[in-house]
Amino acid sequence: ITFDRPVTDRAAAEATVGVRTAPAVSGKYYWTSDTELRWRPHEFWPAGTAVTVWAGGAEHTFRTGDAVVSTYDDATHEVTVTRNGEVVRVMKASAGRDTYPTYNGTYYNGWRAREVHMDSSTWGLSRAAGGYDTVVQDGVRLSYDGIFVHSAPWSVADQGVRNVSHGCINLSPEDAAWYYDNTRNGDPFIVVNGPGKHFGAFDGQGDWNY
């Protein structure tokens, strides 16, 4: 919820909004800035939960879909996808190399496109210094700082074996297309057993780390 001016009394502001779920789901409010309030459940949303949100005289109701959760385990270099608790696909992957490790923590799917232009100079790494300027297929964003799940045909031989990316989750073209087609925006993506530090709540898609 975005307020039109900075909020000084957060408790009072929280009292003007509400979240109702069926079945009942416990959760918490948290602030990402002086003007933005968010709410999330303590655990991932159960499949098929009816959610009603109200604020400022407006009310909106929606229902969650299947509970789809993906986990990248850096110990095995594999992404395991579950749907309502059942494993539906295991995919070989390659994450961030030692100099650009992929942070451990819980992300979620954000913006996506069949083609994504990636240019490392936008975050300070030139091509001469080992950067890139390329278009990737089936990109799904996991973080505002540029981590994506995407097709990486150039690293198929490394997938399932070692980490060679600049932080993204590399998949084969077939697996990346499957991930794009079978997961939705908002579905959690967890990274475990990696060498990187913990993914912070500071990122725009770090809600599960608050």
- Do residue 54 and residue 145 come from a single domain? no
Question: Does 91 fall in a domain?
Answer: yes
Query: With bands split at pLDDT 50, 70 and 90, how would you rate the model's confidence at 200?
Result: confident
Q: Identify the bridge partners of residue 108 per DSSP, sorted by sequence position.
A: 188
* Tokens of residue 10, six digits: 């957060």
Select the more confidently predicted residue: 200 or 160. Answer: 160
Number of helices and strands (H, E) in the chain? 2, 14
Examine the domain organization and report whether 93 and 127 are in the same domain.
Answer: yes
Q: Of 60, 77, 150, 198, which one is the catalytic site residue?
A: 150
Half-sphere exposure at residue 103, Cβ-oriented, CA atoms within 13 angstroms: 17
pLDDT digits (tens, 9 = 90+) for 13-36: 999 999 999 999 999 999 999 999
What pLDDT was estimated at residue 5? 96
pLDDT at 206 over 90: no
Q: Are 103 and 198 in contact (CB under 8 A)?
A: yes
Per-residue model confidence (pLDDT) at position 121:
87
The reported pTM is 0.92
Which tens digit of pLDDT belongs to each residue from 163-182? 999 999 999 999 999 999 99
Last residue of a domain, one of 21, 40, 63: 63
pLDDT at 201 over 80: no
Q: Encode pLDDT of 83-136 as tens digits.
A: 999 999 999 999 999 999 999 999 999 999 999 999 988 888 888 888 889 999
Using CB atoms within 10 A of its CB, is residue 128 exposed (0-12), middle (13-18) or buried (19+)?
exposed
142, 180: one domain? yes
Same domain, 89 and 127: yes
Distance separating the N- and C-terminal Cα atoms of the chain: 16
What are the tens digits of pLDDT across the range 75-84?
999 999 999 9
The predicted pLDDT at position 152 comes to 98
CA 25/CA 205 separation, integer angstroms: 21
pLDDT bracket for residue 66 (50, 70, 90): very high
Q: Confirm whether 2 is domain-assigned.
A: no
State how many domains the chain has: 2
Residue 1 lies in a domain: no
Given the residues 77, 166, 168, 198, the one annotated as active site: 168
Active site residue 168: yes
Q: Considering the chain, what is the average pLDDT of its residues?
A: 95
36-40, 67-71, 156-160, range with the lowest pLDDT: 36-40
- Provide the domain limits for residue 35: 10-63
Would you state the pLDDT for residue 195? 87
Tokens standing for residue 51:
């959610």
For β-strands 68-73 and 78-83, DSSP reports them as: antiparallel
Q: Determine, yes or no, domain membership for 138.
A: yes
Cα–Cα distance, 70 to 128 (Å, whole number)? 34
